[in-house]
Structure 1
Amino acid sequence: MSAPDRPMALPSHLPDAEWRRKPGLSLLAEALGAAAGEARFVGGAVRDALLGIAAKDVDIATIHSPREVIERVTRAGFKPVPTGIDHGTITAVLHGWPVEVTTLRRDVSTDGRRATVAFGTDWREDAARRDFTMNALYADPTSGAITDWFGGLEDLAAGRVRFIGDPAQRIAEDHLRILRYFRFVARFGALDPASADHAACVAHAPSLMALSRERIADEMLRLLALPDPVPVLRAMVEDEVLAAVLPEINATGADALASLVTREKAAGIPPDALRRLAALLPDDAPVARQVAARLRLSNKARRRLTVATTGPADEEKGGPVALAYRIGTEGARDRILLGRALTMDALTDLPVEGALPVLPLSGGDLIAMGLPAGPVVARTLQRLEREWTEAGFPPPDQTRSLALRLVEESLREAQKS
C-alpha cells in the first residue's frame, strides 16, 4: 500500500480483522486482565489492521510480570513457552498458533546491539522505547480503542515512517533500526531523503558494522521480499548506507534489481528475496560466495546464490530444459529472470522441479559396450551426457546409438596414445 492510497485519517478504534477472530484470543485477553486495562494489543497487528492488510503476528503487552503471565496463560488452558523470558516475552500457544505476550518494559542500558530492560507498569514508558510511531499503537481488546502517544495514527495515514523521539538516539540504542527504517519506508511509506529520520540513518550507517551478519541478512532479505524495494535500494546505494557491510551492491546492481522486478511482474512470478539479492550482485560466483558467507546464509541459500550469479559455459545450448538439467529448474528460472540466460519466453518451457530427464545409460553400460574400466569411462559418460543434453534428450534407442559412437571414438583415441 503506497502513501497516495491511504485514507486522510485512520479510525480511532481497531477495525475488525481476521486475526481478532482466531480461536482462543478473546479468552487469552480476558485471562490477562484486558477488561481491567491490564493488557492491550500492540505493534504490527494493530498497525496492519488499521491499514486493512493481513497481519502475520499478534502481540499483547501487559502489566503482569513474566511469571504471572505464565500462570495466567496456564490457568486459561493454553501452553506458555518462555521464548524471550529475559526480555519479558512469553509465547502463548492457542490451538496451535502463537501469540507473544510481553511485560511492559523500559530500557536500563543499550549498546546498539542488545538492551538490558526492567519491567514496569507504565504504558507510555513502554511505548517510548519502541522504534517508530506507527509501531507504538495500542488497542484495547475489549473496546478496540486505540491509544497513541506519539502521533502514530497521523504518521501511518500519511505514509510517514518516523522514529519516536530523537532518531540518532533511537539508532544508537539498536543499530538494526537503520535497516528497519528503510524496510518500513519500502513497505508502508514514501521515501523522504530530506527528513531527519532518513538523514540520521545515513549519518549512522557505519554503525551497521557492529551488528551480527545474521541480523543484517534477515533485514535485507525481508526488504528484498517486498513488492517493490527498488526506490529505497537506490537511495541506500546513493547514500552509501550499505557501503560498510555490503560494498558489492552499487548502482549497477540497483538497475539490475529494477529490471528483475519488472520481469517478475510481467511473468506473474512472486518476489523472491534470494533471487533479488543475486540481481544486486555482479554475475560472478566468487563474489556471490563471499557475500553469502559474510551474511551467514544457509548452505542451500549459498548454493542458489552461486548458481544464480554464474551459469554453465554452455547454458545457451539445448534450450530451457537443458539449462534446467544442468543447474536445476530453480537455478534456470533465476538466471532467465535475471536476464543472464536465454529469453523470458523460455520460462514457459521449464520443467517442473523433480521432473527433469534422466540419462538412460550408466558407466556400466559403456563398459558393456566394450570400454575398459577406468577413468576413460567417466570421461566418456560426461561427453555422452553433454551431447545427449544438447541434442534435446533423445529417447533410449537414440541415446544408445550416441553412446556407441562415443565408445568407438574413445577406443580409437586410446589406441593412438
Structure 2
Amino acid sequence: MTTRLERHDWLTSSATIAVMDALEAAGGPDCARFVGGCIRNALVGRPVDDIDIATRLKPEDAMAALKAAGLKVVPTGLAHGTVTAVSERRPYEITTLRRDVETDGRRAVVAFTDDWAEDAARRDFRLNALYADRTGAIFDPTGQGVEDALAGRVVFVGDPDRRIEEDYLRILRFFRFFAWYGRAAPDAEGLAACAAHADGLARLSAERVSKELLKLLAAPDPRAAVAAMRTAGVLERLVPTVPSARAFEAMVALSDDPVLRLSALLPDDAVVVTAAAQALRLPRVMEARLGAAAASPLDPATPVATLRALTYRLGRQAVLDRLIRGLAEADGQGDRSVLTTVADWPVPRMPVGGRDLAKLGVEPGPDTGRILKAFEDEWVAADFPATGHVERLSRLVAARRG
C-alpha cells in the first residue's frame, strides 16, 4: 500500500506547482520528486521550512526549463548538481539524481544518474531517503524510511561505517537528527560506528562542525543526544567539556538558546572557553557571550539593585547569560523571577549631559567628562534615582572647583 502525504499547503501552493510544472515540461512526468526533510517533517507533523526537489534532469536542463517558465534560477552548486529556483519569493533547492564516484571523508565527487535507488543509496539516514511526487505519493527506496520516521529511529542507509567514511560530518548529523527526531535509545550499530570513527571529526572544517553542533543544541530536548555523544567519545573531541552533565541538564530546562546550552558544557574558565569558541570559529558575538558567562556566573540571589547596575553597565544579554549560567550551576535551584526582573527592567538613559554642565558655568573640556563620570557612578550606586539630578550635579561641580 502506497503511503501518501495528507494535503499540505507547501505541496499544493501555486509557487510549488509552478516549479514542478516547469521541470515536468522539460523532463516529462516523474522527472522530479520532493525529497528528504519536507517529506520526513510532513510525515511526523513538524513544520516544513525547506522544500528540496530531486530530478532526473541534468542541472543545465533544469535551469533552462525553470528560466523558460519565467522563474528566477541561481546556480548554487552546479558541481554537485544543485540549482535554486525562486518561485513567489520562496526558494526551492533542486538537485540532479547522483551517485558518489569518490569520497574522502569531507567531500564527494559525484556522477549524475537517473536511478532513484542509486540516489537514495548515497544519502545519510533512511528517514531522509524519502521521495514524494506532486500528488503526495511517497516512495521509500530503502523500504524502512517511513517506518523509521514514524517510530523516531535514526538509522544509516546501508553500512554505517561506509556512510561515515564518505563524510565524517555524518557523525554529528547522527546525533543531531536523534536530538530532533529520535525516541528511545539511539541505534546501537550507528552509535558504535560513530564511536569508532570519532577521530575523523578532526578532518572537518570548524565551521561545519560548529553549525551542526548548534543545530543539535537547538533541539527541544538534546539531553539524550548529548549523553550519547559523551558515551561515544564524540563530545570531548569538539569542546573541552566538564566532567558532570548536571549543569547542562539544568540549562536545557532553563533556556532553549543553543549558545547558553553550549556554555553549560564548558568549564568556568574564560580563557579555555574563548579558545574553544575560536577553535570552532564561532562568531565574535557568540565568543564574547560564552567567555563572559564562564568568567562570572551570577548567583540568582544577587540583590536587584546590583543586577540593575550590571545591566546598565554590561547590557541586558550579558546579565541574563550570567544569571542563567549561575542557575544552571545550581542545578536550576534558585529564584527564577530575577530573569524576568532583568528582562523587563527599562534601562534608563543618563539623565544629564554637557548642556547641563554648561548651565552651571562649566566650560567644555576635560572636567566635563570627569564630572559626568562621577555623576554617573553616584547615580548608578544609588540605584538610578529619578530626581535630584541638578542638586547632585551642582555638588559635584562645586567639589571640583573647590
Contact 1:155 1:162 in 2 (8 A): yes
Match among 3, 6, 12 for residue 21 of structure 1: 12
Unaligned 5+ segments in structure 1 are: 1-9, 265-270, 413-417
133, 143, 153: which one pairs with 2:146?
A: 153
Contact 2:142 2:157 survives alignment (8 Å): no
| Aligned AA (1:118) | A
Output the amino acid matched with 1:329: R
- 1:330 equivalent among 303, 317, 320: 317
Deviation at 1:391, TM superposition (A): 1.7
Amino acid at match of 1:327: L
The offset of 1:411, in angstroms, is 7.1
In terms of mean alpha carbon deviation, does 81-90 or 279-288 score higher? 279-288
Cα offset, 1:21, TM superposition: 2.9
Does 2:193 match 1:208?
no
CA–CA distance in 2 between the matches of 1:365 and 1:340? 42
- Which secondary structure state, in structure 2, belongs to the residue aligned with residue 277 of structure 1? helix
> 1:415 aligns to what?
none
Deviation digits for residues 192-229 of structure 1 (CA, Å, limit 9, x no counterpart): 36711011111211211111111111011101111111
Does structure 1 residue 276 correspond to structure 2 residue 268? no
Cα distance in 1 for residues equivalent to 2:2 and 2:388:
71
Q: String of CA shifts for 1:113-169, please: whole Å, max 9, x gaps.
A: 111111111110000000000000111113524333241112222211100111111
Q: C-alpha root-mean-square deviation of aligned residues, in Å?
A: 2.9
1:359 CA drift (Å)? 1.6
Aligned positions of 1:9-408 closer than 5 A = 12-33=3-24, 36-142=29-135, 144-190=137-183, 192=185, 195-246=188-239, 248-252=240-244, 254-264=245-255, 271-311=256-296, 316=303, 318-339=305-326, 343-350=335-342, 355-362=346-353, 374=366, 381-395=372-386, 397-404=387-394
- The answer to whether the 8 Å contact 1:237/1:251 transfers is no
| Partner secondary structure for residue 235 of structure 2 | coil
Runs of 5+ unmatched residues, structure 2: 329-333
> 1:334-358: per-residue Cα shift (whole Å, max 9, x none)?
22222269942122223559x5211
- Once the 2 structures are TM-superposed, how far is the Cα of residue 402 of structure 1 from its aligned partner? 3.9
Moved more, 289-298 or 364-373: 364-373
Partner of 1:116, secondary structure, is: strand
Q: Could you say if the C-alpha distance between residues 313 and 133 of structure 1 is closer, same or farther in structure 2, counting changes exceeding 3 Å?
A: closer
SS at structure 1 position matched to 2:264: helix
- Seen in structure 2, the aligned counterparts of structure 1 residues 371 and 236 have a Cα distance that, compared at 3 Å, is farther
* Residues 302-353 of structure 1, C-alpha deviations (whole Å, 9 max, x = no match): 2232333334999756244323212212222222222269942122223559
Structure 1 Cα separation of the partners of residues 115 and 309 of structure 2: 64
Partner Cα separation in structure 2 for residue 351 and residue 151 of structure 1: 47
Q: Deviations over 1:96-116 (max 9, x none)?
A: 010011000011111111111
Cα distance 1:234–1:316, how it changes in 2: closer, same or farther (>3 A)? farther
The AA in structure 1 aligned to 2:36 is: G
The residue aligned with 1:6 is none
User: Matched residues in 1 for 2:136 and 2:236: separation?
Assistant: 47
Q: Is the 8 A contact 1:40 1:139 kept in 2?
A: yes
Deviations 1:11-39 (A, max 9, x none): 71122223213332122112222862211
Quick one: distance in 2 between partners of 1:293 and 1:42? Answer: 35
Q: C-alpha distance in 2, partners of 1:350/1:239?
A: 39
2:174 counterpart letter in structure 1? Y
CA distance in 2, matches of 1:262, 1:297: 24
Q: State how far apart, in whole Å, the 1-side matches of 2:125 and 2:20 are.
A: 25
Structure 2 residue identity aligned to 1:390: A
| 1:51-76 deviation digits (Å, cap 9, x = unpaired) | 11111100110100000000111122
Matched residue type, 2:220: P
Distance in 2 separating the partners of 1:109 and 1:380 = 70
* Aligned structure 1 segments of 4 or more residues deviating by more than 6 angstroms: 312-315, 369-372, 408-412
Deviates more, 1:220-229 or 1:236-245: 236-245
Tell me the distance in 2 between the aligned counterparts of 1:369 and 1:256.
56
Greater alpha carbon shift after TM alignment, 327-336 vs 155-164? 327-336
Q: Which moved more, 1:99-108 or 1:23-32?
A: 23-32
- Is the contact between residue 221 and residue 274 of structure 1 (CA under 8 Å) also seen in structure 2? yes
Contact 1:369 1:407 in 2 (8 A): no
- Assess if the C-alpha contact under 8 Å between 2:11 and 2:136 holds in 1: no
Structure 2 SS opposite 1:227: coil
Secondary structure in 2 matching 1:306: helix
**1:349-377 alpha-carbon deviations (Å, 9 max, x no partner):** 23559x52112234786696779954x76
Provide the TM-score with structure 2 as the length reference: 0.88
Q: Residues 182 and 145 (structure 1 numbering): CA distance in 2 closer, same or farther, change over 3 Å?
A: closer
Structure 1 residue 298: Cα displacement: 1.7
Task: Check 1:208–1:400 CA distance in 2 against 1; reply closer, same or farther (3 A cut).
Answer: farther
TM (norm. structure 1) is 0.85
Aligned length: 392
- Structure 1: distance between partners of 2:108 and 2:266: 34
Query: What's the counterpart of residue 331 of structure 2?
Result: none
